[in-house]
Amino acid sequence: MRRIVLYGALCICSFSSLSCRTFRSLRPIQLVPSTSVVVASIRWAEVREDDRLRKVIEGDEIEKMLQELLHMLEIPDAQIVEALAFSEAAESADISAGMILSGSYDARAVIRSLEARGWNRQTYRGYKLYSNPAEEIGLTLLRSGLLVSGTLKGIKEVIDVELNPDQGLASSEPFDRLEAQFGNQQYPISAIIIFPQSLQDVTGAAVELSSALLDFAGLGPLGEILRKIGFAKGLGFSIARRGDSFPVELVAIMKDEEAAGFISGVLNLLKEIGSSLPPEVPDEEKRIRDLLVDRDGAILKVRWVMTEEDLMSHSGSAVR
């Protein structure tokens, strides 16, 4: 998962008065290209002010890229509300990847600054694209007022989605079903991983992505179960904070109802015997006894609560 996000450049969205009325209702997630397999969102305004939540992403590639981009664009991080990163699974330089930020900064001032620093300019479908060859990064101001920075392929695909939102990931299956499970609630930290057949066919790719997410959540044993019966079509993960505890929710769309029923049954069985586990059993296996497990057809939803100790032991590994 580190490779996929590491190659990601960044894309920025601004809710400023620059927005054209035609595109004003678009949300950041509605601009993510359908080729993306990883989407990770950080409510920066909330995480930035919470030391314990910030430790979850401290030192992570997403935080590093965010800070580097803001420095390059001369945008104070206090003006950022949300950072939403996306990337496809390509392992080459020609990758579609980026980060969407919402904030209160002046997008046109950013463009003027780039022009003053001599960034190159080209045109794509009527949009002006600015590029910095030294950084291998590009940037454009969308007609909605959004500011997009990233690889040229990523920028062009975001432009395509703005012109036709039906081409975006938000309109594709199974992402639309995963997103619907979280409703309209916005979490401080969340991530969604899609497993298209092409990715499942790549040896180890699905294992690496899902294991990274489950290991962070402290549910390594669940990853072992998934490996034995076949990986999900998609995984969604969110973490919030409630006082000194951190509610976590995991949603998986399994390959079929039988697979979802099998995992649900196994988890409920483990919960029943969890109270008798010996002291030497790893904490992550004991944690299974506290899970709340729900199933709706092929959709499996698992909820539990992490302690601050749990959170710190997995900090910096959520979306690497």
Predicted pLDDT at 199: 60
pTM for the model = 0.78
pLDDT computed for residue 234 by the predictor: 83
307 beta partners:
245
Q: Which amino acid is at 298?
A: A
Instruction: Report pLDDT for 124.
Output: 96
Beta-sheet strand order (sheet of 120-124): 120-124, 127-132, 137-141, 147-150, 97-103, 80-87, 38-42, 189-194, 234-239, 245-253, 299-307, 292-296
Residue 223 is predicted with a pLDDT of 55
Chain Cα centroid distance, residue 315: 16
What pLDDT does 141 receive?
A: 85
Q: Where are the domains of the chain?
A: 2-169, 173-313
Q: Which two tokens stand for residue 168?
A: 């975006």
Q: Describe the crossing of helices 257-273 and 220-229 by its angle, rounded to 10 degrees.
A: 140
Provide, for the chain, the percentages of residues in helix, strand and coil under a 3-state DSSP scheme, each rounded to the nearest 5: 40, 25, 35
- Predicted confidence pLDDT, tens digits, the chain (320 residues): 443 333 333 444 433 333 333 455 677 888 899 988 888 888 899 998 888 888 777 656 777 888 888 888 888 999 888 888 888 876 666 889 888 777 888 888 988 998 898 899 999 999 999 998 777 788 988 888 778 888 889 899 999 999 998 889 888 877 887 777 765 677 898 888 887 766 655 545 555 555 555 555 555 555 555 555 555 788 888 888 888 888 888 888 887 888 888 888 877 777 776 555 555 555 555 566 677 888 888 888 888 887 777 666 655 444 44
pLDDT at 15: 35
Residue 22's pLDDT is what?
A: 47
* Of residues 34, 134, 12, 151, the one with CA closest to residue 92: 151
Q: What is the pLDDT of residue 231?
A: 58
